[in-house]
A and B are shown apart, each in its own frame.
Chain A
Amino acid sequence: MSLPGRKQRRQSMMNNKKFIVSHAPFYHNGSKISSTGYNIMGATLPAVLMGIYIYGVPALGVVALSISSAMLWELLMNKVMKLPVTIGDGNAALIGMLFAMLVPATLPWWAVVTGTFTAIVIGQQIYGGIGGNPFNPVIVALTILMVSWKDIFDFDTALLNYDFNFVTLYPLAALKHFGLSSVESFTPGALLLGQQTGGIGSTFGLGLILGGIYLIIRGYIRWEISLSFLGGVLITAWLFQLSDPAVYAGPVFHLLTGYTLIGAFFLATENSSSPVNFIPMLIYGAGGGIMAVLIRNIGVYVDGVLLAILLMNLVNPMLDKIRPKALGKVV
């Protein structure tokens, strides 16, 4: 505010208090990037802890190495690109956590470090960091690694030396290679409680469901995507079973095995690579679910969830063009 005379003005400038001047709005609801990251990590804990309980210290080692190396890769990229350090926002740690949840407990250290490098650097940082990635970085990393080193991701070979009190057979591989009769021993209850082999954090169905429900209620993931993904899986699997019950497994089996649940709640819902409008979210989720079962049942891969989500990531920008008409839009 101008005041009489320049001298007086300068004088009053000296006496005046300095206030914070910024633009509207002056309230904020207090949401933060970091609270999203840490809440999702918290929601993964039941499944991860169960994984560590089942697979022991090697699993703990993989989880710890994965999280720490992911954060270090991001730190390194921050330094190389001369950007502010962003590892405190929980995003790198979350990527590390999700990567560890998908891999077998015996994954060699170099594969973990390469995986997190692929996820953080190739999957996210080169696109401009958080929010810029067109694909889910965890899935990018895992699919690249699976194509490169097929054998270390074969759960049956990887977990050969374990002695469990349940059938040591990766259910989806068994279904693919030995037919429906080989998986009849898996009851839904046992699958739900993690009585199956698989990735460290992707077998304990109940834990994943609880984590997913928590995230949906808190609004950290978009329920439309999760539910339509599960719907897509269930309906497609059911249709396959209807067509030939002797060959195809039922919807509940597909729901509780492989990466279906972790995919629905933690992978497909990744913010940056998924749509935000209602109808696109439904198409995106359902499309992912349908593709996953199609790949499982008639494709060559054992589990189709990762590739299905990757494919839907690809069409996401086009899907998000389906949007409601803006108020007063002039055509």
Chain B
Amino acid sequence: MIKRAFRGLKAPQIEYELLHDTPVGPRSILPSKTVTLLLPGKYERKDKLTLCAGDSIKTGQKLSPYEDSDDYAISSVTGTIASVAPYTGDFGQSFTTIIIQAAEKEKTDDAFSAACSDSVRNAVTDFLACVPGRPPLDLLARPDKPIHTLVICGMDADLMIATNQHIIKTRIDAVTRGIKILKNAYGIEKAIIALPRDLVSGFGHVGARLIAVDACYPSANHRMIMYKALKQVVPADKNCEDLGVCFISAEAAASIGSAFEKGRIPFTKTITLINKDRKKIMISARIGTPVRDIFKACDVTVNERDRIIFGGPMTGTAVFSENHPVGPDTDAIIVQANKDVTLVSDYPCVNCGECVRLCPANIQVNMLVRFLEAGEYQTAADEYDLHSCIECGLCSFVCESKIPVFQYIRLAKYELAREKAAEAIDDE
């Protein structure tokens, strides 16, 4: 936990931790016996499935369980499918889980290398949507909103995570290759690499435009990069892609670069593992590895009532099982000891104003939270700038009453989006 400073006069500055030395390569975690792939999208009736238990799978094979959907996952092991089942994530987001029992001998599927020689764009769209870093390919390819600028984030948006800085420092060649491939494939004019201010001078040779990101949280947030570094304000009701700017992690670019170099789809994810004592280890594990195996390999002991967090401390997600698999966008795994777990309370807002002083989007959080607590989401959006929120989590971080402000905001946005979607269906 980052404690409140003794001098509380100035608004606290929470800084990203920067990787200064050349990092050692990530510790590699051995492949697991059971691998779980999470595929976004609704789990539909069983008879519609094209996959079933017992099917044998090769490493790098494309798995699309539904005939009528383009969603797919890429198997990271060779083996047989044990089951296909539904899974519900945060805010009722549905996933399909594909559990694969790994076999001893590894066989590689070569559909991707065959596709490479054909059209690069098709190869990227058809095979590389869930490579480590999860490039937002669907956003790049929208015909109604063309993307003219690609921003490669060499710095993770959340605190404590070193994954993308690590990628920039160790795999810059793959990153530049990936940028080139994406630019050509999707007809993107400009590519910009966003780096921590201290690192910018070391990467002049790369050839892409570099922009410096401050070390103060949440400068690496996408909307903040747009605002501070690119001098463009994203209107509250739009997102960066609407303005033609798409953000992609350095790891995603590196994955695409190395996929074409080696002719194989990459499936090892670089992860920052943060132990209970807040020490970081860089590890690399195959997508789908259950977190239990990572803990075993790194000697992390987790006890009852600890907290396991996927993603960063400010915006991540807590998971409830050690079987939760590493996904293509799992940049960090944090283990928190029970004594460090902070809980929320049901105290009302006391109007201390800490959140207002700190909010990077200038939102009147003290008033906003009063409307959100009462469930007045539409008024909150109309009068108190709900949609300006960049979702950095600082308001909850400093809240004296320990109100789950950030969760209220996310819930309100989710509910409003659902309402809007329902209205759109009614109109049709």
Contact = CB atoms under 8 A, between A and B. Distances in A.
Interface of A: 1-5, 12, 16-33, 36, 84, 128-132, 216-220, 222-223, 271-272, 274, 276-277, 320, 323-330
Interface string B317-352: 111111111000000001010100111101111111
A18 B307 CA distance: 9
Contact of B233 (A22, A25, A131, A328): A328
B12 A1 contact: no
B2 A2 contact: no
B92 interface: no
A22 B318 contact: yes
Interface in B1-59: 1-4, 6-10, 12, 36, 53
B87 A17 contact: no
A329 B388 contact: yes
Contacts of B233: 327-328
Contact of A1 (B36, B159, B309): B36
Classify chain B's interface size. 35 or more
Contacts of A326: 236, 361-364, 385, 388
B388 A276 contact: no
B240 to A, nearest CB: 11
A131 B390 contact: no
Given A23-B406, A25-B396, 16 more contacts: A1-B87, A2-B99, A17-B303, A18-B304, A19-B321, A23-B410, A24-B314, A25-B406, A29-B397, A131-B347, A218-B6, A223-B9, A272-B350, A327-B388, A328-B361, A328-B388
B362 A24 contact: no
Interface of B: 1-4, 6-10, 12, 36, 53, 82-83, 85-87, 90, 97, 99, 159, 223, 227, 233-238, 302-309, 311, 313-325, 334, 336, 338, 341-344, 346-354, 356-357, 360-364, 366-367, 385, 387-388, 390, 393-394, 396-402, 404, 406-407, 410
Given A20-B318, A327-B233, A216 B97 contact: no
A128 to B, nearest CB: 7
Contacts of A26: 307, 309, 313-314, 316, 318, 334, 336, 341-342
Contacts of A219: 7-10
Contact of B319 (A18, A21, A28, A277): A21
8 contacts: A18-B305, A18-B320, A24-B317, A29-B4, A131-B348, A217-B7, A271-B350, A327-B363
A328 B349 CA distance: 26
Contact of B306 (A20, A217, A277): A20
Contact of A25 (B53, B303, B315, B321): B315
B356 A327 contact: no
Nearest to B291: A1
A33 B362 CA distance: 24
